[in-house]
Amino acid sequence: MRVTEKGQVTIPQEIRRKYGIGKESEVRFEEEDGRVFLVRETPPEGVYGKAAGTADAGLSTEEILRLTREIDE
């Protein structure tokens, strides 16, 4: 990976996905024992991170409510 003339680097896509670093994410650099670390400061892509909106049971709201009511009975 190269640093551009402006001092910029591209964070690899797999790292951005894994750690929830999105377009508006805030990051900072930390130094420790001669090494530099990139640290994400904002929560990953919303409160639930990448998992938000990924579950799809293929059921309607009414069907899900009916199932949860059956469990409680």
Domain residue spans of the chain: 1-53
Tell me the β-bridge partners of 35: 32
Q: Model pTM?
A: 0.51
Residues 6 or more apart whose CB falls under 8 angstroms from that of 56 comprise none
Please give the structure tokens belonging to residue 60.
């309607």
Residue 41 has what pLDDT? 85
What's the pLDDT tens digit per position in 47-59?
555 555 566 667 7
Distances (CA, A) of 38 to 22, 26, 30, 69: 14, 10, 6, 46
How far apart, in whole angstroms, are the C-alpha atoms of residue 45 and residue 22?
7
What's the alpha-carbon Rg for the chain, to the nearest Å?
A: 20
Indicate if the pLDDT at residue 67 is higher than 90: no
pLDDT above 90 as % of the chain: 37
Q: Which fold has domain 1-53?
A: Pemi-like Protein 1; Chain: D (2.10.260)
